[in-house]
A and B are shown apart, each in its own frame.
Chain A
Amino acid sequence: MTGTFNFEAVKAIYYFEMARMRRTLLQSVISPVITTSLYFIVFGTAIGSRIQEVGGVSYGSFITPGLIMLTLLTQCISNGSIGIYFPKFTGTIYELLSAPVAMSEVLIGYVGAAASKGLIIGLIILATASFFVDIHIAHPFMMVLFLVLTAITFSLFGFIIGIWAKNFEQLNIVPMLIVPPLTFLGGSFYSIDMLPPFWQAVSHFNPVLYLVSGFRWSFYEIADVNPIVSLGMIGLFLVICLSILGWIFRTGYRLRS
Protein backbone atom coordinates (compact mmCIF):
# COMPACT_ATOMS: atom_id res chain seq x y z
CA MET A 1 0.00 0.00 0.00
CA THR A 2 1.45 3.32 -1.01
CA GLY A 3 0.16 6.85 -0.78
CA THR A 4 -3.26 7.65 0.51
CA PHE A 5 -6.74 6.33 -0.11
CA ASN A 6 -8.04 7.49 -3.51
CA PHE A 7 -11.40 8.77 -2.35
CA GLU A 8 -12.10 10.60 -5.62
CA ALA A 9 -11.81 7.34 -7.52
CA VAL A 10 -14.20 5.51 -5.21
CA LYS A 11 -16.65 8.38 -5.64
CA ALA A 12 -16.23 8.36 -9.42
CA ILE A 13 -16.88 4.62 -9.67
CA TYR A 14 -19.82 4.78 -7.25
CA TYR A 15 -21.58 7.61 -9.07
CA PHE A 16 -20.82 6.10 -12.45
CA GLU A 17 -22.53 2.87 -11.39
CA MET A 18 -25.46 4.64 -9.76
CA ALA A 19 -25.92 6.67 -12.94
CA ARG A 20 -26.32 3.42 -14.83
CA MET A 21 -29.12 2.47 -12.48
CA ARG A 22 -30.92 5.71 -13.31
CA ARG A 23 -30.46 5.04 -17.03
CA THR A 24 -31.91 1.56 -16.71
CA LEU A 25 -34.64 2.50 -14.27
CA LEU A 26 -37.21 0.27 -15.95
CA GLN A 27 -35.02 -2.79 -15.77
CA SER A 28 -33.47 -2.21 -12.38
CA VAL A 29 -36.35 -0.84 -10.33
CA ILE A 30 -39.71 -1.18 -12.03
CA SER A 31 -39.22 -4.79 -13.06
CA PRO A 32 -38.48 -6.20 -9.57
CA VAL A 33 -41.38 -4.19 -8.15
CA ILE A 34 -43.79 -5.65 -10.71
CA THR A 35 -42.47 -9.16 -10.16
CA THR A 36 -42.88 -8.85 -6.40
CA SER A 37 -46.35 -7.42 -6.74
CA LEU A 38 -47.26 -10.45 -8.83
CA TYR A 39 -45.95 -12.75 -6.09
CA PHE A 40 -48.16 -10.95 -3.60
CA ILE A 41 -51.20 -11.20 -5.83
CA VAL A 42 -50.67 -14.88 -6.59
CA PHE A 43 -49.21 -16.23 -3.34
CA GLY A 44 -50.40 -13.68 -0.88
CA THR A 45 -53.92 -12.98 -2.06
CA ALA A 46 -55.12 -15.80 -4.31
CA ILE A 47 -53.40 -18.78 -2.68
CA GLY A 48 -52.61 -17.19 0.67
CA SER A 49 -56.27 -16.64 1.46
CA ARG A 50 -56.67 -20.43 1.54
CA ILE A 51 -53.61 -20.98 3.71
CA GLN A 52 -53.91 -20.59 7.42
CA GLU A 53 -51.58 -18.40 9.40
CA VAL A 54 -47.95 -19.44 9.73
CA GLY A 55 -46.44 -18.93 13.15
CA GLY A 56 -49.19 -16.52 14.07
CA VAL A 57 -48.88 -14.18 11.06
CA SER A 58 -50.91 -14.15 7.84
CA TYR A 59 -49.33 -15.98 4.93
CA GLY A 60 -48.92 -12.78 2.91
CA SER A 61 -47.02 -11.13 5.75
CA PHE A 62 -45.02 -14.30 6.34
CA ILE A 63 -43.60 -14.41 2.80
CA THR A 64 -42.67 -10.70 2.66
CA PRO A 65 -39.15 -11.02 4.17
CA GLY A 66 -38.42 -14.00 1.88
CA LEU A 67 -39.53 -12.06 -1.19
CA ILE A 68 -37.34 -9.11 -0.23
CA MET A 69 -34.41 -11.49 0.26
CA LEU A 70 -35.04 -13.17 -3.11
CA THR A 71 -34.88 -9.85 -4.92
CA LEU A 72 -32.03 -8.52 -2.79
CA LEU A 73 -29.86 -11.57 -3.50
CA THR A 74 -30.58 -11.60 -7.22
CA GLN A 75 -30.11 -7.85 -7.60
CA CYS A 76 -26.92 -7.65 -5.56
CA ILE A 77 -25.32 -10.57 -7.36
CA SER A 78 -26.37 -9.23 -10.78
CA ASN A 79 -25.30 -5.66 -10.12
CA GLY A 80 -22.10 -6.66 -8.37
CA SER A 81 -21.09 -8.96 -11.19
CA ILE A 82 -22.10 -6.83 -14.17
CA GLY A 83 -20.37 -3.76 -12.73
CA ILE A 84 -16.94 -5.34 -13.05
CA TYR A 85 -17.75 -7.77 -15.87
CA PHE A 86 -18.84 -5.06 -18.29
CA PRO A 87 -15.52 -3.17 -18.32
CA LYS A 88 -13.78 -6.52 -18.79
CA PHE A 89 -16.08 -7.35 -21.67
CA THR A 90 -15.82 -3.98 -23.44
CA GLY A 91 -12.13 -3.51 -22.61
CA THR A 92 -12.63 -0.29 -20.65
CA ILE A 93 -11.04 -2.07 -17.68
CA TYR A 94 -7.72 -0.79 -19.05
CA GLU A 95 -8.61 2.46 -17.38
CA LEU A 96 -9.21 0.94 -13.96
CA LEU A 97 -5.97 -1.00 -14.16
CA SER A 98 -3.88 1.97 -15.30
CA ALA A 99 -5.36 4.43 -12.81
CA PRO A 100 -3.79 5.15 -9.42
CA VAL A 101 -6.40 3.09 -7.61
CA ALA A 102 -5.92 0.05 -5.42
CA MET A 103 -8.21 -2.87 -6.19
CA SER A 104 -9.72 -2.42 -2.72
CA GLU A 105 -10.93 1.03 -3.83
CA VAL A 106 -12.33 -0.39 -7.05
CA LEU A 107 -14.12 -2.97 -4.92
CA ILE A 108 -15.60 -0.39 -2.55
CA GLY A 109 -16.87 1.67 -5.50
CA TYR A 110 -18.53 -1.21 -7.34
CA VAL A 111 -19.75 -3.18 -4.34
CA GLY A 112 -20.95 -0.03 -2.61
CA ALA A 113 -23.04 0.86 -5.65
CA ALA A 114 -24.36 -2.69 -6.11
CA ALA A 115 -25.31 -2.94 -2.43
CA SER A 116 -26.94 0.50 -2.48
CA LYS A 117 -29.03 -0.50 -5.48
CA GLY A 118 -30.03 -3.75 -3.79
CA LEU A 119 -30.98 -1.90 -0.61
CA ILE A 120 -33.02 0.70 -2.47
CA ILE A 121 -34.90 -2.02 -4.33
CA GLY A 122 -35.37 -4.03 -1.13
CA LEU A 123 -36.89 -1.02 0.61
CA ILE A 124 -39.12 -0.27 -2.40
CA ILE A 125 -40.40 -3.85 -2.24
CA LEU A 126 -41.00 -3.51 1.47
CA ALA A 127 -43.03 -0.39 0.75
CA THR A 128 -44.88 -2.18 -2.08
CA ALA A 129 -45.64 -5.11 0.24
CA SER A 130 -47.18 -2.80 2.79
CA PHE A 131 -49.91 -2.03 0.25
CA PHE A 132 -50.88 -5.69 0.09
CA VAL A 133 -50.31 -7.05 3.59
CA ASP A 134 -49.76 -5.98 7.18
CA ILE A 135 -46.09 -5.45 7.92
CA HIS A 136 -44.81 -5.32 11.44
CA ILE A 137 -41.13 -4.86 12.20
CA ALA A 138 -40.29 -6.06 15.68
CA HIS A 139 -36.56 -5.30 15.56
CA PRO A 140 -35.93 -2.44 13.09
CA PHE A 141 -32.23 -2.23 13.90
CA MET A 142 -31.69 -5.93 13.34
CA MET A 143 -33.80 -5.75 10.19
CA VAL A 144 -31.54 -3.06 8.76
CA LEU A 145 -28.43 -4.93 9.92
CA PHE A 146 -29.54 -8.14 8.17
CA LEU A 147 -30.45 -6.19 5.05
CA VAL A 148 -27.19 -4.26 4.88
CA LEU A 149 -24.94 -7.24 5.66
CA THR A 150 -26.71 -9.42 3.12
CA ALA A 151 -26.54 -6.69 0.47
CA ILE A 152 -22.81 -6.20 0.99
CA THR A 153 -22.02 -9.91 1.17
CA PHE A 154 -23.91 -10.81 -1.98
CA SER A 155 -22.60 -7.81 -3.90
CA LEU A 156 -19.10 -9.06 -3.01
CA PHE A 157 -20.12 -12.51 -4.18
CA GLY A 158 -21.39 -10.94 -7.42
CA PHE A 159 -18.10 -9.10 -7.86
CA ILE A 160 -16.24 -12.43 -7.63
CA ILE A 161 -18.54 -13.91 -10.27
CA GLY A 162 -17.97 -10.85 -12.48
CA ILE A 163 -14.22 -11.36 -12.32
CA TRP A 164 -14.46 -15.11 -12.82
CA ALA A 165 -17.00 -15.06 -15.70
CA LYS A 166 -15.59 -15.27 -19.20
CA ASN A 167 -18.92 -14.87 -20.99
CA PHE A 168 -22.49 -13.79 -20.37
CA GLU A 169 -23.64 -17.33 -19.76
CA GLN A 170 -21.24 -17.82 -16.88
CA LEU A 171 -22.21 -14.38 -15.62
CA ASN A 172 -25.89 -15.28 -15.40
CA ILE A 173 -25.57 -18.82 -14.19
CA VAL A 174 -25.47 -17.98 -10.48
CA PRO A 175 -28.22 -15.32 -10.24
CA MET A 176 -30.49 -17.15 -12.70
CA LEU A 177 -29.90 -20.81 -11.95
CA ILE A 178 -28.60 -21.10 -8.42
CA VAL A 179 -30.14 -18.29 -6.39
CA PRO A 180 -33.84 -18.88 -7.26
CA PRO A 181 -33.89 -22.60 -6.29
CA LEU A 182 -31.93 -21.89 -3.11
CA THR A 183 -34.33 -19.10 -2.23
CA PHE A 184 -37.45 -21.10 -3.02
CA LEU A 185 -36.12 -24.06 -1.07
CA GLY A 186 -34.72 -21.87 1.71
CA GLY A 187 -38.00 -21.26 3.45
CA SER A 188 -39.05 -18.08 1.68
CA PHE A 189 -42.57 -19.33 1.15
CA TYR A 190 -42.90 -21.80 4.00
CA SER A 191 -41.50 -22.61 7.38
CA ILE A 192 -39.20 -25.64 7.25
CA ASP A 193 -41.24 -27.07 10.15
CA MET A 194 -43.74 -27.99 7.44
CA LEU A 195 -41.18 -30.29 5.81
CA PRO A 196 -40.52 -33.96 6.62
CA PRO A 197 -37.50 -34.38 8.98
CA PHE A 198 -35.14 -35.49 6.19
CA TRP A 199 -35.76 -32.36 4.11
CA GLN A 200 -35.57 -30.22 7.20
CA ALA A 201 -32.05 -31.53 7.73
CA VAL A 202 -31.14 -30.96 4.07
CA SER A 203 -32.43 -27.41 4.26
CA HIS A 204 -29.81 -26.60 6.86
CA PHE A 205 -27.15 -26.89 4.14
CA ASN A 206 -28.87 -24.14 2.20
CA PRO A 207 -27.23 -20.81 3.10
CA VAL A 208 -30.29 -18.85 2.04
CA LEU A 209 -32.30 -20.48 4.83
CA TYR A 210 -30.22 -18.59 7.40
CA LEU A 211 -30.67 -15.28 5.61
CA VAL A 212 -34.43 -15.60 5.24
CA SER A 213 -34.92 -16.97 8.72
CA GLY A 214 -32.91 -14.25 10.43
CA PHE A 215 -34.49 -11.55 8.37
CA ARG A 216 -37.99 -12.84 9.08
CA TRP A 217 -37.18 -13.00 12.77
CA SER A 218 -36.45 -9.25 12.76
CA PHE A 219 -40.02 -8.74 11.51
CA TYR A 220 -42.15 -11.25 13.38
CA GLU A 221 -39.83 -12.93 15.87
CA ILE A 222 -40.45 -16.30 14.26
CA ALA A 223 -37.43 -18.17 12.96
CA ASP A 224 -36.38 -21.57 11.64
CA VAL A 225 -32.91 -21.15 13.12
CA ASN A 226 -31.57 -19.04 15.94
CA PRO A 227 -31.09 -15.42 14.68
CA ILE A 228 -27.58 -15.36 16.15
CA VAL A 229 -26.72 -18.39 14.03
CA SER A 230 -28.20 -16.56 11.03
CA LEU A 231 -26.03 -13.54 11.72
CA GLY A 232 -23.01 -15.79 12.17
CA MET A 233 -23.64 -17.46 8.81
CA ILE A 234 -23.83 -14.11 7.00
CA GLY A 235 -20.62 -13.09 8.75
CA LEU A 236 -18.97 -16.35 7.68
CA PHE A 237 -20.03 -15.90 4.07
CA LEU A 238 -18.77 -12.31 4.18
CA VAL A 239 -15.37 -13.47 5.41
CA ILE A 240 -15.20 -16.18 2.73
CA CYS A 241 -15.98 -13.64 -0.03
CA LEU A 242 -13.37 -11.21 1.30
CA SER A 243 -10.75 -13.95 1.49
CA ILE A 244 -11.39 -15.00 -2.11
CA LEU A 245 -11.17 -11.37 -3.22
CA GLY A 246 -7.96 -10.93 -1.26
CA TRP A 247 -6.48 -13.84 -3.19
CA ILE A 248 -7.78 -12.47 -6.52
CA PHE A 249 -6.21 -9.06 -5.92
CA ARG A 250 -2.90 -10.52 -4.78
CA THR A 251 -2.55 -12.78 -7.79
CA GLY A 252 -4.24 -10.55 -10.38
CA TYR A 253 -6.44 -13.54 -11.33
CA ARG A 254 -8.28 -12.76 -14.59
CA LEU A 255 -7.43 -9.08 -14.15
CA ARG A 256 -3.73 -8.55 -14.85
CA SER A 257 -1.96 -11.04 -17.06
Chain B
Amino acid sequence: MSSIQPNSSKPPIVSIRNLTKVYGNGFKALKGVDLDIREGEILALLGPNGAGKTTMISIVCGLVNPSGGQVTVGGHDVVRDFRATRSMIGLVPQELTTDQFETVINTVTFSRGLHGKSKNPALIEQVLKDLSLWDKRNNMLRELSGGMKRRVLIAKALAHEPRILFLDEPTAGVDVTLRRDMWQVVEKLRETGVTIILTTHYIEEAEEIADRVGVINAGELLLIEDKTTLMKKLGAKQLRLELTRPLETVPPGLEAFDLKLVDDGRALVHDYAADETHGNGQGSRIAALMKALAAADVPLADISTHQSSLEDIFVKLIGERA
Protein backbone atom coordinates (compact mmCIF):
# COMPACT_ATOMS: atom_id res chain seq x y z
CA MET B 1 0.00 0.00 0.00
CA SER B 2 3.03 2.27 0.19
CA SER B 3 2.74 4.84 -2.56
CA ILE B 4 6.04 6.56 -1.80
CA GLN B 5 9.01 4.36 -1.15
CA PRO B 6 11.29 5.63 1.56
CA ASN B 7 14.71 6.46 0.23
CA SER B 8 17.17 4.09 1.82
CA SER B 9 20.25 5.61 0.19
CA LYS B 10 19.86 8.84 2.17
CA PRO B 11 21.28 9.02 5.71
CA PRO B 12 18.78 7.83 8.32
CA ILE B 13 16.63 10.54 9.86
CA VAL B 14 16.90 8.87 13.25
CA SER B 15 19.95 6.85 14.17
CA ILE B 16 20.12 4.89 17.41
CA ARG B 17 23.44 3.34 18.43
CA ASN B 18 23.97 0.91 21.29
CA LEU B 19 21.28 2.62 23.33
CA THR B 20 20.93 1.48 26.92
CA LYS B 21 18.69 2.57 29.74
CA VAL B 22 18.89 1.40 33.31
CA TYR B 23 16.28 2.90 35.62
CA GLY B 24 17.03 3.94 39.19
CA ASN B 25 15.61 0.68 40.55
CA GLY B 26 18.09 -1.31 38.46
CA PHE B 27 15.59 -2.32 35.78
CA LYS B 28 17.26 -2.62 32.37
CA ALA B 29 14.70 -1.20 29.98
CA LEU B 30 17.01 -1.11 26.95
CA LYS B 31 20.00 -3.39 26.42
CA GLY B 32 22.01 -1.89 23.58
CA VAL B 33 19.54 -1.12 20.80
CA ASP B 34 20.72 -0.21 17.27
CA LEU B 35 18.17 1.16 14.86
CA ASP B 36 18.13 3.39 11.78
CA ILE B 37 14.89 5.03 10.78
CA ARG B 38 14.61 6.11 7.14
CA GLU B 39 13.20 9.43 6.15
CA GLY B 40 9.59 9.20 4.98
CA GLU B 41 8.87 5.68 6.13
CA ILE B 42 6.21 4.34 8.45
CA LEU B 43 7.91 2.17 11.01
CA ALA B 44 5.90 0.04 13.39
CA LEU B 45 7.54 -1.09 16.61
CA LEU B 46 5.92 -4.17 18.00
CA GLY B 47 6.40 -5.67 21.38
CA PRO B 48 4.59 -6.75 24.49
CA ASN B 49 3.99 -4.39 27.41
CA GLY B 50 7.22 -3.44 29.16
CA ALA B 51 9.36 -4.38 26.17
CA GLY B 52 11.09 -0.98 26.07
CA LYS B 53 9.18 0.65 23.22
CA THR B 54 8.08 3.69 25.19
CA THR B 55 11.49 4.09 26.85
CA MET B 56 13.15 4.16 23.45
CA ILE B 57 10.73 6.77 22.12
CA SER B 58 11.06 8.79 25.32
CA ILE B 59 14.82 8.97 24.93
CA VAL B 60 14.58 10.11 21.31
CA CYS B 61 12.03 12.77 22.30
CA GLY B 62 13.91 13.97 25.40
CA LEU B 63 11.62 12.72 28.17
CA VAL B 64 14.14 10.25 29.53
CA ASN B 65 17.91 10.56 29.79
CA PRO B 66 19.78 7.65 28.19
CA SER B 67 22.18 5.61 30.31
CA GLY B 68 24.48 4.86 27.39
CA GLY B 69 24.75 4.96 23.61
CA GLN B 70 23.88 7.70 21.18
CA VAL B 71 20.80 8.93 19.37
CA THR B 72 20.89 11.40 16.50
CA VAL B 73 17.93 12.99 14.76
CA GLY B 74 18.62 14.66 11.43
CA GLY B 75 22.32 14.31 12.25
CA HIS B 76 22.02 16.14 15.59
CA ASP B 77 22.65 14.55 18.96
CA VAL B 78 19.43 14.43 21.02
CA VAL B 79 21.16 15.46 24.23
CA ARG B 80 23.66 18.04 23.00
CA ASP B 81 21.58 19.58 20.21
CA PHE B 82 18.21 19.08 21.82
CA ARG B 83 16.75 22.22 20.30
CA ALA B 84 17.47 21.06 16.78
CA THR B 85 16.21 17.52 17.33
CA ARG B 86 13.10 18.31 19.35
CA SER B 87 12.03 20.97 16.83
CA MET B 88 11.80 18.22 14.24
CA ILE B 89 9.78 15.83 16.37
CA GLY B 90 6.10 15.62 17.24
CA LEU B 91 5.08 13.24 20.00
CA VAL B 92 1.66 11.75 20.71
CA PRO B 93 1.97 10.09 24.12
CA GLN B 94 0.34 6.88 25.18
CA GLU B 95 -1.63 8.35 28.07
CA LEU B 96 -4.48 10.76 27.45
CA THR B 97 -2.82 13.62 29.28
CA THR B 98 -4.59 16.91 28.75
CA ASP B 99 -5.03 20.19 30.51
CA GLN B 100 -8.67 19.64 31.44
CA PHE B 101 -9.63 23.30 31.77
CA GLU B 102 -8.05 24.55 28.56
CA THR B 103 -9.85 24.95 25.27
CA VAL B 104 -8.87 22.90 22.25
CA ILE B 105 -7.60 25.83 20.23
CA ASN B 106 -5.59 27.29 23.12
CA THR B 107 -3.84 24.07 23.96
CA VAL B 108 -2.92 23.44 20.32
CA THR B 109 -1.71 27.03 19.87
CA PHE B 110 0.32 26.65 23.07
CA SER B 111 2.08 23.59 21.63
CA ARG B 112 3.19 25.56 18.59
CA GLY B 113 4.57 28.36 20.75
CA LEU B 114 6.41 25.91 22.96
CA HIS B 115 8.24 24.65 19.91
CA GLY B 116 9.47 28.15 19.17
CA LYS B 117 7.20 28.80 16.20
CA SER B 118 5.38 32.08 15.79
CA LYS B 119 1.61 32.04 15.66
CA ASN B 120 -0.04 30.68 12.53
CA PRO B 121 -3.83 30.59 12.95
CA ALA B 122 -4.38 29.32 9.41
CA LEU B 123 -2.20 26.30 10.02
CA ILE B 124 -3.83 25.54 13.37
CA GLU B 125 -7.23 25.78 11.66
CA GLN B 126 -6.11 23.30 9.01
CA VAL B 127 -4.75 20.85 11.58
CA LEU B 128 -7.97 21.02 13.59
CA LYS B 129 -10.09 20.58 10.48
CA ASP B 130 -8.07 17.56 9.34
CA LEU B 131 -8.76 15.94 12.70
CA SER B 132 -12.45 16.93 12.74
CA LEU B 133 -11.82 19.15 15.76
CA TRP B 134 -12.65 22.53 14.27
CA ASP B 135 -16.24 22.50 15.59
CA LYS B 136 -14.94 21.71 19.05
CA ARG B 137 -12.19 24.34 19.08
CA ASN B 138 -13.76 26.37 21.88
CA ASN B 139 -14.69 23.40 24.01
CA MET B 140 -12.79 22.67 27.17
CA LEU B 141 -10.84 19.44 27.00
CA ARG B 142 -12.69 17.90 29.91
CA GLU B 143 -15.89 18.11 27.85
CA LEU B 144 -14.46 15.87 25.15
CA SER B 145 -14.70 12.11 24.81
CA GLY B 146 -11.59 9.94 25.01
CA GLY B 147 -11.39 9.64 21.25
CA MET B 148 -11.64 13.40 20.82
CA LYS B 149 -8.89 13.93 23.39
CA ARG B 150 -6.72 11.55 21.41
CA ARG B 151 -7.31 13.73 18.34
CA VAL B 152 -6.33 16.81 20.35
CA LEU B 153 -3.05 15.17 21.33
CA ILE B 154 -2.36 14.46 17.67
CA ALA B 155 -3.23 18.06 16.77
CA LYS B 156 -0.84 19.30 19.47
CA ALA B 157 1.93 17.11 18.06
CA LEU B 158 1.33 18.45 14.54
CA ALA B 159 0.98 22.13 15.48
CA HIS B 160 4.68 22.84 14.93
CA GLU B 161 4.87 20.99 11.58
CA PRO B 162 7.22 18.20 12.68
CA ARG B 163 9.22 16.13 10.21
CA ILE B 164 9.02 13.09 12.42
CA LEU B 165 5.92 11.95 14.26
CA PHE B 166 5.99 9.46 17.11
CA LEU B 167 2.70 7.79 17.92
CA ASP B 168 2.94 5.78 21.11
CA GLU B 169 0.10 3.23 21.16
CA PRO B 170 -2.14 5.59 19.20
CA THR B 171 -5.08 3.25 18.91
CA ALA B 172 -5.25 1.86 22.45
CA GLY B 173 -8.89 2.15 23.46
CA VAL B 174 -9.90 3.91 20.27
CA ASP B 175 -13.02 3.04 18.29
CA VAL B 176 -13.07 1.90 14.67
CA THR B 177 -14.09 5.26 13.19
CA LEU B 178 -11.35 7.17 14.91
CA ARG B 179 -8.83 4.50 14.02
CA ARG B 180 -9.75 4.82 10.36
CA ASP B 181 -9.61 8.65 10.53
CA MET B 182 -6.27 8.43 12.21
CA TRP B 183 -4.77 6.22 9.54
CA GLN B 184 -6.06 8.64 6.94
CA VAL B 185 -4.21 11.45 8.70
CA VAL B 186 -1.10 9.29 8.92
CA GLU B 187 -1.32 8.48 5.23
CA LYS B 188 -1.73 12.16 4.37
CA LEU B 189 1.26 13.08 6.52
CA ARG B 190 3.39 10.45 4.86
CA GLU B 191 2.53 11.93 1.49
CA THR B 192 4.02 15.21 2.69
CA GLY B 193 7.23 13.39 3.61
CA VAL B 194 6.74 13.07 7.37
CA THR B 195 8.44 10.06 8.93
CA ILE B 196 6.11 8.15 11.22
CA ILE B 197 7.06 5.80 14.01
CA LEU B 198 4.30 4.05 15.86
CA THR B 199 4.30 1.53 18.62
CA THR B 200 1.49 -0.89 18.95
CA HIS B 201 0.64 -4.31 20.13
CA TYR B 202 -2.17 -4.56 17.61
CA ILE B 203 -0.31 -6.46 14.99
CA GLU B 204 -2.92 -6.12 12.29
CA GLU B 205 -2.32 -2.39 12.51
CA ALA B 206 1.36 -2.74 11.71
CA GLU B 207 0.49 -5.20 9.00
CA GLU B 208 -1.90 -2.75 7.44
CA ILE B 209 0.04 0.53 7.36
CA ALA B 210 3.73 0.03 8.10
CA ASP B 211 6.56 -0.09 5.57
CA ARG B 212 8.89 -1.71 8.06
CA VAL B 213 8.33 -3.59 11.24
CA GLY B 214 10.62 -3.81 14.25
CA VAL B 215 10.07 -6.26 17.05
CA ILE B 216 11.24 -5.32 20.54
CA ASN B 217 11.18 -7.63 23.51
CA ALA B 218 12.82 -7.35 26.92
CA GLY B 219 14.87 -4.31 25.93
CA GLU B 220 16.28 -5.80 22.72
CA LEU B 221 15.43 -5.20 19.10
CA LEU B 222 14.84 -8.73 17.86
CA LEU B 223 14.50 -7.83 14.22
CA ILE B 224 13.79 -5.00 11.83
CA GLU B 225 12.63 -5.81 8.35
CA ASP B 226 10.54 -4.58 5.44
CA LYS B 227 7.06 -5.79 6.15
CA THR B 228 6.69 -7.75 2.91
CA THR B 229 10.13 -9.35 3.26
CA LEU B 230 9.33 -10.27 6.80
CA MET B 231 6.04 -11.82 5.82
CA LYS B 232 7.78 -13.76 3.06
CA LYS B 233 10.73 -14.83 5.13
CA LEU B 234 8.90 -15.92 8.18
CA GLY B 235 5.39 -16.41 6.92
CA ALA B 236 4.44 -20.06 6.51
CA LYS B 237 1.70 -21.22 4.17
CA GLN B 238 -0.53 -24.16 4.62
CA LEU B 239 -2.67 -25.96 2.05
CA ARG B 240 -5.62 -27.72 3.56
CA LEU B 241 -7.68 -30.35 1.75
CA GLU B 242 -11.05 -31.15 3.30
CA LEU B 243 -12.21 -34.69 2.61
CA THR B 244 -15.74 -35.99 2.08
CA ARG B 245 -14.99 -39.13 4.11
CA PRO B 246 -12.23 -39.83 6.68
CA LEU B 247 -9.09 -41.67 5.53
CA GLU B 248 -6.96 -44.02 7.63
CA THR B 249 -3.67 -43.34 5.88
CA VAL B 250 -2.25 -40.96 3.29
CA PRO B 251 -3.26 -42.57 -0.02
CA PRO B 252 -0.48 -44.27 -2.02
CA GLY B 253 1.15 -42.15 -4.72
CA LEU B 254 1.18 -39.03 -2.48
CA GLU B 255 4.13 -39.96 -0.25
CA ALA B 256 6.43 -37.49 -1.99
CA PHE B 257 4.33 -34.49 -0.98
CA ASP B 258 4.81 -34.46 2.78
CA LEU B 259 1.10 -34.61 3.57
CA LYS B 260 -0.31 -35.07 7.03
CA LEU B 261 -3.69 -36.44 8.01
CA VAL B 262 -5.43 -34.31 10.62
CA ASP B 263 -8.82 -34.06 12.32
CA ASP B 264 -9.33 -37.84 12.60
CA GLY B 265 -8.52 -38.29 8.97
CA ARG B 266 -11.03 -35.77 7.70
CA ALA B 267 -8.42 -33.37 6.25
CA LEU B 268 -4.99 -33.43 4.66
CA VAL B 269 -2.53 -30.56 5.20
CA HIS B 270 0.64 -29.55 3.39
CA ASP B 271 2.99 -26.96 4.92
CA TYR B 272 5.31 -24.89 2.76
CA ALA B 273 7.17 -21.60 2.91
CA ALA B 274 5.40 -18.48 1.68
CA ASP B 275 7.99 -17.71 -0.96
CA GLU B 276 7.98 -21.26 -2.36
CA THR B 277 5.17 -20.48 -4.77
CA HIS B 278 7.12 -17.63 -6.38
CA GLY B 279 10.67 -18.82 -6.78
CA ASN B 280 12.35 -21.44 -8.88
CA GLY B 281 9.47 -23.36 -10.37
CA GLN B 282 8.15 -24.31 -6.97
CA GLY B 283 4.68 -23.36 -8.14
CA SER B 284 4.67 -26.51 -10.20
CA ARG B 285 4.98 -28.48 -6.98
CA ILE B 286 1.43 -27.48 -6.02
CA ALA B 287 0.29 -28.27 -9.55
CA ALA B 288 1.94 -31.69 -9.31
CA LEU B 289 0.23 -32.29 -6.00
CA MET B 290 -3.12 -31.43 -7.58
CA LYS B 291 -2.51 -33.93 -10.42
CA ALA B 292 -1.44 -36.62 -7.97
CA LEU B 293 -4.53 -35.97 -5.86
CA ALA B 294 -6.78 -36.49 -8.88
CA ALA B 295 -4.87 -39.66 -9.88
CA ALA B 296 -5.11 -41.12 -6.38
CA ASP B 297 -8.83 -40.46 -6.40
CA VAL B 298 -8.77 -38.63 -3.05
CA PRO B 299 -12.34 -37.76 -1.94
CA LEU B 300 -11.87 -33.94 -2.01
CA ALA B 301 -14.57 -31.67 -0.56
CA ASP B 302 -12.80 -28.32 -0.39
CA ILE B 303 -9.38 -26.65 -0.68
CA SER B 304 -8.06 -23.69 1.28
CA THR B 305 -4.73 -22.02 1.86
CA HIS B 306 -3.71 -19.96 4.84
CA GLN B 307 -0.79 -17.59 5.18
CA SER B 308 0.46 -16.77 8.64
CA SER B 309 -0.14 -13.19 9.69
CA LEU B 310 2.32 -10.86 11.34
CA GLU B 311 0.69 -11.90 14.57
CA ASP B 312 1.70 -15.54 14.08
CA ILE B 313 5.22 -14.43 13.19
CA PHE B 314 5.37 -12.23 16.24
CA VAL B 315 4.13 -14.87 18.65
CA LYS B 316 6.62 -17.34 17.17
CA LEU B 317 9.51 -14.88 17.53
CA ILE B 318 8.76 -13.95 21.10
CA GLY B 319 8.23 -17.61 21.93
CA GLU B 320 11.60 -18.65 20.51
CA ARG B 321 13.45 -16.12 22.64
CA ALA B 322 11.53 -16.80 25.80
Contact = CB atoms under 8 A, between A and B. Distances in A.
A132 to B, nearest CB: 35
A86 B85 CA distance: 26
B95 A2 contact: no
Interface magnitude class on chain A: 20 to 34
B80 A9 contact: no
B114 A9 contact: yes
B100 interface: yes
B64 A6 contact: no
Interface stretch (B105-113, B276-284, B296-304): B105-113
Nearest to B79: A2
Interface in A102-156: 102
A168 interface: no
Given A19-B106, A92-B98, A2 B116 contact: no
B91 interface: yes
B101 interface: yes
B63 A2 contact: no
Contact of B97 (A19, A94, A101): A94
Most B CB within 10 A of own CB, among A2, A7, A90, A96: A2
B91 A90 contact: no
A253 to B, nearest CB: 11
A32 to B, nearest CB: 21
Contacts of A102: 83
B117 A8 contact: yes
B138 to A, nearest CB: 14
Contacts of B99: 86-87, 90, 92
A98 B62 contact: yes
B61 interface: yes
A256 B63 contact: yes
A93 to B, nearest CB: 8
Contacts of A50: none
Interface in B1-46: 23-24
B23 A23 contact: no
A100 B115 contact: yes
Given A7-B116, A23-B101, 7 more contacts: A2-B83, A16-B106, A96-B114, A97-B61, A99-B115, A100-B86, A257-B23
Interface of A: 2-3, 6-9, 11-13, 16, 19-20, 23, 86-87, 90-92, 94-102, 252, 256-257
